[in-house]
Amino acid sequence: MRMGVTVWFWALTSSSSSYTRSGVIIVVVVFFLVADGTVLELDDSNFESAISALDLVLVDFHAPWCGHCKRLSPQLDAAAPLLASLKQPIVIAKVNADKYTSLAHKYEVDGFPTLKLFIHGVPQEYNGPRKADLLVRYLKKFAAPDVTLLDSDSAIADFIQSAGTYFPLYIGFGLDESMISKLALKYKNKAWFSVAKDFSEDVMILYDFDKVPALVSLHPSYNERNVFYGPFEEEFLEDFIKQSLFPLAVPINYDTLKSLNDDERKIVLTIVEDEDEEKSKKLIKILKSAASANRDFVFGYVGIKQWGDFADTFGATRRQNYQKWLFGIEWRSTLQFSAQKALMRKIRHLKSRSFLKDTRKEEQSRKELAAVSTEDEPLRVGRGDKVDHATSSTAEAESREQKAGEKED
């Protein structure tokens, strides 16, 4: 096997004519490397050739002095043979980005370790788990068919079980595969897609739909389900898929904000003291109801206890016992974050901007959301650095307690 690795790197760095003459050798060696689960060590001389020769490659950009990198390395080594055994193998590669800085610069690596998944040569950020077994389960999504065909109740159950909880699932019941195949390809990196042809009435009861065709979306980790009965034109199908990619109430943290990068909707954020308190859970249920009625916004929440530093970015402190709503935290696709420091800096910038420029629509949104509150604490809604207080004696008292010059942003 060692000689095979040597031939692999020699072939990748040879001239184009030698590359052509060695084509058979490359294919054979790649086959054995993938089957064996060898972790590739890439550098300036062979990186591009390796990435172009393999369909799916998870690349670890690391530095020898990095403690986190040293802890991640054995997890990747353990995952490599498992990923290599998939029907569509996934290869793990490593790059010493501290040494090969041109690669680090080209692929916007500004922290260690940085993981990027290359799909047919196109890189995307890897935001999944980093323990070997969980990493394998997460990456199986990218090696799966665009649409999985299910022909029995047991096949449906097995599909849901094997899919895990990291991605939402879409199951078309009585739906022709051709109706979702295009969108399944478009959103393959974000969700599982399947079509069930044969199923019992028990399945209809279990997933709460009463007629076909129906497209059911599932969020296993949030125990949420949505049903779409049409119309099944592409425009309406895509709207449903996009709006169902996230749970009705999204827990906002570093990872979910990255996932929301491509979502064009504005975020309505509420900050609570503790996500696990009954009072907060009650509010989250209300958020879900509000989100169900208005999918034009992303309704999110963050607990100060769980994400104190993150919540402080929006002006919440432990001395302020309230829920606050922020309109229009606009997330543009040009904002890419791989380090927490950069993320915090960008959020502060976004926080200072004003959105919802249509005053009448904004005022209506404020009135509607102001009506959604807990009994013991008034809801405060606002935009940017301006916060409107719900009309109540409690709100007025809290307002008077604010220190001079303090802003609720």
pLDDT score of 337:
34
Task: Taking residues 365-380, report their average pLDDT.
Answer: 40
Task: Taking residues 7-29, report their average pLDDT.
Answer: 39
Range among 95-99, 108-112, 280-284 with highest mean pLDDT value: 95-99
Of residues 349 and 155, which shows the higher confidence score?
155
CA distance 194 to 80: 27
Provide the pLDDT confidence category of residue 215 given band limits of 50, 70 and 90. Answer: very high
**Does the domain made of 2-141 have the CATH classification 3.40.30.10?**
yes
pLDDT score of 255:
73
**Nearest-CA neighbor of 369 among 274, 293, 276, 277?**
293
Output the six-digit token pair for 40: 């590739």
Report percent pLDDT > 70 for the chain.
67
51 given a catalytic annotation: no
Task: Taking residues 185-193, report their average pLDDT.
Answer: 93
pLDDT score of 10:
36
Among the residue ranges 84-98, 170-184, 244-258, the one predicted with the least confidence is 244-258
CA distance 197 to 325: 44
**Nearest-CA neighbor of 199 among 149, 161, 236?**
149
pLDDT score of 221:
86
CA distances in angstroms from 119 to 89, 110, 263, 324, listed in the order given: 12, 21, 21, 40
Provide the pLDDT confidence category of residue 206 given band limits of 50, 70 and 90. Answer: very high
Catalytic: which of 5, 7, 53, 66? Answer: 66
Provide the pLDDT confidence category of residue 199 given band limits of 50, 70 and 90. Answer: very high
Catalytic: which of 26, 39, 51, 69? Answer: 69
Report percent pLDDT > 90 for the chain.
44
Residue 92 DSSP SS3: strand
Tell me the per-residue pLDDT of 295-354, one tens digit each, with 9 for 90 and over.
888 888 888 887 766 655 555 544 444 344 444 433 333 333 333 344 344 434 433 333
Among the residue ranges 47-61, 204-218, 327-341, the one predicted with the least confidence is 327-341
CA distance 203 to 218: 14
For 321, the enclosing helix (H) or strand (E) is: none
pLDDT score of 87:
86
pLDDT score of 315:
55
Rounded to 10 deg, the angle between the 67-84 and 132-143 helix axes is: 50
Beta strands in 136-295 (DSSP E): 148-150, 169-173, 192-196, 214-219, 224-228, 249-251, 266-272
66 given a catalytic annotation: yes
Tell me the per-residue pLDDT of 243-273, one tens digit each, with 9 for 90 and over.
999 999 998 877 787 778 778 888 888 888 8
pLDDT score of 308:
63
Output the six-digit token pair for 7: 């031939």
Provide the pLDDT confidence category of residue 155 given band limits of 50, 70 and 90. Answer: very high
Q: Which fold has domain 146-243?
A: Glutaredoxin (3.40.30)
CA distances in angstroms from 125 to 122, 133, 240, 338, 405, listed in the order given: 10, 19, 25, 8, 41
| Domain chopping of the chain, boundaries | 2-141, 146-243, 249-401
Provide the pLDDT confidence category of residue 20 given band limits of 50, 70 and 90. Answer: very low
pLDDT score of 123:
94
pLDDT mean across residues, the chain: 74
Domain 249-401, CATH among 1.10.10, 3.10.350, 3.40.210, 3.40.30:
3.40.30
pLDDT score of 310:
63
pLDDT score of 312:
59
CA distance 34 to 117: 16
Q: What is the pTM of this model?
A: 0.67
pLDDT at residue 6 tops 60 = no
Same fold, 146-243 and 249-401: yes
